[in-house]
Amino acid sequence: VAKYNFQGSTEQDLPFCKGDLLTIIGVTKDPNWYKAKNSVGREGMIPANYVQKREGVKSGGKLSLMPWFHGKITREQAERLLYPPETGLFLVRESTNYPGDYTLCVSCDGKVEHYRIIYHDGKLSIDEEEYFDNLMQLVEHYTKDADGLCTRLIKPKLMEGTVAAQDEFSRSGWAMNRKDLKLIQTIGKGEFGDVMVGDYRGTKVAVKCIKHDATAQAFLAEASVMTQLRHTNLVQLLGVIVEERGSLFIVTEYMAKVSAVSLNFAVKMCLCPCGSYVCEAMEYLEANNFVHRDLAARNVLVSDDNIAKVSDFGLTKEASSTQDTAKLPVKWTSPEALREKKFSTKSDVWSYGVLLWEIYSFGRVPYPRIPLKEVVPRVEKGYKMEAPDGCPAAVYDLMKQCWTLDPAGRPSFRLLREKLQHIRLIAEETSPSRILIPVSIFK
């Protein structure tokens, strides 16, 4: 990512602006210069000290939009944290005297002042004249103007073990400038925010917009995971925007939505790209010790050039972490993950078998005609879905292998990919007829 503007002085140079994304494609005899290409494929020479290598954000749960929020601490604890006195040093805590309210604690002229933050009708206020939607907006306001406080808020006292999200994304090269992002059209609405098509410096992008501070905090983990992943068949993170007023924008490459494809393409999607593409992506996650936990056809997107990519890393975590099973999709989740919260690449393999079934059934909901509450008991007794109409026996056999009750008995993604490639070679020799089918599963 470019740290400065570079105009270039020769035809061999590649001009760029601060914030542009560049790919280093070669080193030179001179360590001060790289050969690089920009987002539209133009190549040229760039000065090494004008760019910053992007790093994965590994702070995970320590990232915070509100690192100055210390939760349930007492008045005395707050005063100890703000010692020695430094005018403008501040923190926010939960109110001990008024449950549900907050307290702003500010060091000023050698002592600590405590201001009650009243929560009323969904708004926050200190003086009942100025109201704010969330704590971030309130703190932002008083960092610019004391507005009745003993002093302007100058320096946050960070909670031990937390890292300011904006600082970490900036340090690692993933912070984008909100001024450069133009939001164009809403393409999806969810419980937590909107997904929009946008333009970032002339590049079409997809933007997940989370506009409530508490919800945005929960999505920081997804953004930090995506900074650590780079693969052709994973939807690529382009950058993150953290706004002082509590909004979070996760900017990714834009993936087109297709409405219909031929059966020939569907077979290739399963056996070559979707099978092999998704297998390659999942194999990459496995090698990097990540478990997706929400692998399903709804989370496989297709680009303009018909490349399938795995998306939605909201539940993706390091393999060693645990998770609340209440949020998991029952029909796609392995029995051991639902029953014992045991997640692994093998639980992703189970989900992958369901994904293959979805594709070959042209987007039907898994376990048709079986009530949701009966799915798990029947599966634990050995039930497996029947093969979709027209599904090759070899592919259905792979699905059943994915649904082996003992996780140790399921194939690896590498083995699955190798078997799919072998089946594909046979399928290409038989050249299936072309029939148009809906692919709503990719929407």
Q: Which residue has the tokens 């890393």?
A: 313
Binding residues for ATP: 208
CATH 3.20.20.70 fits 176-253, yes or no: no
CATH 3.30.505.10 fits 70-158, yes or no: yes
pLDDT, residue 265, reads: 45
pLDDT, residue 244, reads: 72
CA 6 from chain center: how many Å? 31
CATH number for the domain running over 271-430: 1.10.510.10
Residues 6+ apart with CB under 8 A from 28: 34, 35, 45
Binding residues: 208
Amino acid at 217: Q
Residues annotated as part of the active site: 294
Instruction: Please report, for the chain, the start and end positions of each structural domain, with discontinuous segments joined by +.
Output: 1-51, 70-158, 176-253, 271-430
pLDDT, residue 341, reads: 87
Render pLDDT for 255-273 as a digit per residue (tens, 0 to 9).
875 443 333 344 444 444 5
pLDDT, residue 322, reads: 54
Identify the architecture of domain 1-51 in CATH: Roll (2.30)
Sites in the chain below the pLDDT cut of 50:
258-272, 433-443
